C-alpha cells in the first residue's frame, strides 16, 4: 500500500479523523533528588504492588476484588478494553528496524481481527492497517524506553546536588484509523499521561 494512502486521514462513523500517537505528551517519572524523602520512591513501589497484587474472590453470587464488590462500572471498564480499534503501527526510520511488533502479555500474544475472527498472534505487522483490542493498543502505548541521566555537583560545593532524571520515549509510533468509542480521546490522553 502506498505511504500516502496510509497517512491520509480516515473518517470513522462518528466523523473523527485519524489520531497519531505523536499528538500526545508522554509522562515522565519525577526526578530523584537528594532532597527527596526516600519514602516517595517506596510509595511508588507500594502503588504498583496494589495495582498488580490484586486477588479476586467469589462468595456465592458476589465477586470481590481486594474486598470490594465488583460492580457494573468495573465490568463496563473491562468491556471497554475489549473493544476493537483499527490502527497502523508506523515503520521506524532505524536502518535495522523490525518489520513486526512483538507483543506478549501474561504469556499470550495480541488478539487481532483476521477475516472476521479474533486470533491470538505473537507479532503485529508494521505499516498495515490492523484491528486489535483496545487493551493491546494500551500495551503499545506503554511500550517505552526510559533514559536515565544524572546531574550532580562535585564535593567542594557546600551542599552538592545529585539528581537522577528519567525521560521516556515511545518504542513505536502509530495512528488510530478507527475507534468507535466516544471515550477514546479521554482514554488516549489518560494512557499517555500515566508514567510507567
- What distance in Å separates the CA atoms of residue 138 and residue 194, rounded to the nearest whole number? 11
pLDDT at residue 114 in the model: 93
Residues 119-126 have a mean pLDDT of 91
Q: Is residue 138 part of a domain?
A: yes
Q: Is residue 115 part of a domain?
A: yes
- What distance in Å separates the CA atoms of residue 135 and residue 126, rounded to the nearest whole number? 18
Q: Find, among 170, 176, 182, the residue nearest to 131 by Cα.
A: 176
Q: What is the number of domains present in the chain? A: 1
Q: Is residue 163 part of a domain?
A: no
* Domain boundaries, position 133: 3-34+58-144+172-193
**Average pLDDT of the chain, as a whole number:** 75
Tens digits of per-residue pLDDT, 28-60?
A: 666 666 555 545 544 444 444 444 344 566 666
Q: Is residue 19 part of a domain?
A: yes
Tens digits of per-residue pLDDT, 157-182?
A: 777 778 888 888 777 889 999 999 99
Residue with cell 517519572: 29
pTM exceeding 0.75: no
Amino acid at each position: 500500500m502506498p505511504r500516502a494512502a496510509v497517512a491520509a486521514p480516515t473518517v470513522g462513523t462518528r466523523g473523527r479523523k485519524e489520531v497519531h500517537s505523536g499528538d500526545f505528551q508522554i509522562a515522565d517519572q519525577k526526578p530523584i533528588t537528594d532532597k527527596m524523602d526516600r519514602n516517595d520512591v517506596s510509595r511508588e513501589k507500594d502503588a504498583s504492588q496494589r495495582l498488580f497484587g490484586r486477588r479476586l474472590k467469589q462468595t456465592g453470587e458476589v465477586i470481590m476484588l481486594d474486598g470490594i464488590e465488583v460492580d457494573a462500572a468495573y465490568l463496563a471498564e473491562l468491556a471497554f478494553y475489549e473493544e476493537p480499534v483499527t490502527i497502523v503501527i508506523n515503520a521506524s526510520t532505524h536502518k535495522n528496524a523490525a518489520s513486526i511488533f512483538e507483543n506478549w502479555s501474561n504469556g499470550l500474544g495480541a488478539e487481532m481481527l483476521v477475516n472476521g475472527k479474533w486470533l491470538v498472534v505473537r507479532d503485529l505487522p508494521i505499516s498495515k492497517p490492523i484491528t486489535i483490542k483496545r487493551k493491546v493498543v494500551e500495551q503499545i502505548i506503554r511500550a517505552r524506553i526510559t533514559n536515565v541521566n544524572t546531574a550532580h555537583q562535585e564535593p567542594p560545593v557546600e551542599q552538592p546536588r545529585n539528581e537522577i532524571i528519567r525521560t521516556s520515549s515511545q518504542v513505536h509510533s502509530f495512528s488510530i484509523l478507527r475507534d468507535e468509542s466516544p471515550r477514546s480521546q479521554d482514554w488516549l490522553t489518560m494512557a499517555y499521561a500515566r508514567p510507567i
